[in-house]
Amino acid sequence: MDEAYSFLVNKIGISDSVIVACSGGPDSMALLSLIVRIKNDIGLNVIVAHVNHGVRVESESEKDFVHDYCMSHDLIFEYMKIDEISSDNFECEARNLRYSFFDRLALKYNCRYVLTAHHGDDLMETILMRIVRGSSLKGYSGFSRVSSRGSYMIIRPLIHMTKDEILDYDRNNDISYVVDKTNFLDVHTRNRYRKYVLPDLKHEDINVHDRFLKFSETLSLYNNFVDRYVDSIIDSVFIDGILHISKLLEYDRLVILRVINRMFDSYYGDSIYLINDKHVDLVYSVLFSSHPNSFVYLPGGVRGVRSYDLFRLMVCENVLPYDIELSGNVVLPNGKSIQMVKKTSVNDNNVIRLSSTDVVLPLRVRSRLSGDRMFVKGMDGSRKLKDIFIDCKVPAFDRDVWPIVVDSCDNIVWVPGLKKSKFDRNIDENCDIILRYY
C-alpha cells in the first residue's frame, strides 16, 4: 500500500478534487482509507461515488455504511441507484451506467481524477476471460493503471496488489467493510475464474499477478503503436461511415482488423459490448469474399452489407429466413453462435442438455415460423413462441432472426437464451448432447 500511496501523492496535486468509486467492499474501503490518509497529509477534496445496482436486499444497508463513513471523515457522498437494466448483458450495461455517473460527477466537481479499487487479481481475471471469450488487442490487455476518459483520468492505484494483500491491509488497519455474497456464487463467470483458476496460477508462481501486469503493459504499448498508425490512414478508408474495400485491402491484416473495430466502435457506441472477435472475423471474411454483393447479420438487429467496393452497417429491415443443421460450432445470423461442448457447469438458458433418445437427429437451428409452439420445461401444455418472445421482452426487430433449435420432426427443443423445452436434461442426468449459446 505504500507504493500506491507514493504513486498517488506524486500524481495528484495539492487541493485537487478526486472521485473515489466505493462499493463498501474490502477493496474499495482499503482504497478509501488510503485516500483519507492522503487527504489528511496534503489536502484533497474527496467525493465518494456509491452505486446501488438494485439487485440485492443488502444494497440499502451498504449505502448507509458508506454514507456513515463519509460523514465521519468529512467526505462528500454521492449516490446513484440503478432502477432497471434493460439489456441481457447486465455487467456491461451496469458498467456503462456507472461511468456515466462518474462523468456527471467529474463535471459537477471539476475533478481530474476518478479512482477505482481494481487490483492485480481483477486484472488477471479480466485478461483470462477475454482470452477465452475472444477480444481485440486492446481487450486482451485488460485495463491499465492510468487511462483517459475525456476530461478526466481513471486511476487504479491498487493494480500492483493482490486480493490477499488488500485483505491483510484491512485486517492490520482495522478497516471495516461489507461483503457481497454474490461474489462467491459460481453462476457468475468472473467468480469461477477467481475461485478455481487463479489459485492454481498462484500456486505455480506467487507473483503471477506481476507477470500479467507486464503482459498487459506490453500489449498496451503495441496497441497504442497500431492505433497511431490507424489514425494516420483511417480517413482514407473509412469515410462517412462507409468502408472502401479496395483501399483497405492494401494494408496488413492487423490494420484491417483494427479499422473494422473502429467501424464497430463508431456505430455501436455504448453497446459495443455486443461485439466480439467473431463478429470482426465475419466482416473480414465478407471484405475478402469473391461475392461483390453479400451481407452478414450482427447483434442488435444490425446487418453488415457489402455492395461492390463499399461496406456499411445498417439496421435490418427485412430478415431472410434461415435453416442450418447443427454441428460443431454454428455462427448465427444474429452474430452469436451455438457450439456443441463436451461439458459445462453452467445451467442457465444459454445451455441445454439433451439425449439422442428423446429427440430425432440431426438437430437444426432456424428462424421462427408462423404457429410455432413449444413445450416449455416445467410447464403443462405448449406455449406459442410469440408469447414467449413477449414475456421475455424480446424486441420486435430481433424476433425474426432469433435462433430456434428444433429436431428433425420440427419439435422445438430450445429457444437459446430464453427458454428450454421438456427435452432438457437436468445437470445430474445422463445426456450425450450439450449445446452452448454465446
Give strand pairing partners of 51. Answer: 80
Cell for 95?
458498467
Q: Is 313 helix (H, G, I), strand (E, B) or coil?
A: strand
What value does the CA radius of gyration of the chain take, rounded to a whole number of Å? Answer: 25
Angle at 117 between CA 115 and CA 121, to 5 degrees: 140
Position 352 scores a pLDDT of 97
pLDDT at 221 over 80: yes
Position 85 scores a pLDDT of 61
Q: Is 245 left (phi over 0), alpha (psi -120 to 50) or beta?
A: alpha
pLDDT at 188 over 90: no
Residue type (1 letter), 208: V
Distances (CA, A) of 26 to 136, 164, 285, 395: 31, 10, 46, 39
- Phi then psi dihedrals of residue 321, to 5 deg: -60, 150
The residues spanned by each domain of the chain are: 2-215, 240-315, 323-437
* pLDDT band, residue 88 (cuts 50/70/90): low
* pLDDT band, residue 196 (cuts 50/70/90): very high
Considering only CA atoms, which of 56, 53, 109 is closest in space to residue 78? 109
CA distance 343 to 24: 37
* pLDDT band, residue 307 (cuts 50/70/90): confident
Residue type (1 letter), 202: K
Portion of the chain with pLDDT greater than 90, in percent: 66
Position 94 scores a pLDDT of 79
Cell for 285?
471474411
pLDDT at 355 over 90: yes
Beta-carbon contacts of 134 under 8 Å, excluding residues fewer than 6 positions away, are 276, 277, 278
* Residue pLDDT, tens place only, 34-67: 999 999 888 889 999 999 877 777 888 999 999 9
Position 401 scores a pLDDT of 85
pLDDT at 86 over 70: no
pLDDT at 297 over 60: yes
Residue ranges in 134-207 assigned as alpha helix (H): 137-140, 163-172, 189-192, 198-204
* Residue pLDDT, tens place only, 412-434: 999 999 999 999 999 999 999 99
Considering only CA atoms, which of 415, 383, 414 is closest in space to residue 398? 415
- DSSP characters for 280-311? HHHHHHHHT-S-SEEEEEETTTEEEEEETTEE
Question: Strand order of the sheet with strand 302-307?
Answer: 238-239, 242-244, 310-315, 302-307, 293-298
CB atoms within 10 A of CB 136: 19
User: The domain 240-315 is classified under which CATH number: 3.40.50.720, 1.10.1660.10, 2.40.50.1020, 3.30.465.60?
Assistant: 3.30.465.60
**Is-contact 114 146, C-beta < 8 A?**
no
* pLDDT band, residue 8 (cuts 50/70/90): very high
Cell for 275?
461485439
Residue type (1 letter), 390: I
Pairing of strands 329-331, 293-298: unpaired
Are the folds of 2-215 and 240-315 the same? no
Please count the CA atoms within 13 angstroms of the CA of 129 that sit on its side-chain side: 16
Report the pLDDT averaged over residues 84-104: 76
* Residue pLDDT, tens place only, 253-268: 999 999 999 999 899 8
| Spacing of C-alpha 194 from chain mean position | 16
CATH of domain 2-215: 3.40.50.620
CA distance 213 to 120: 7
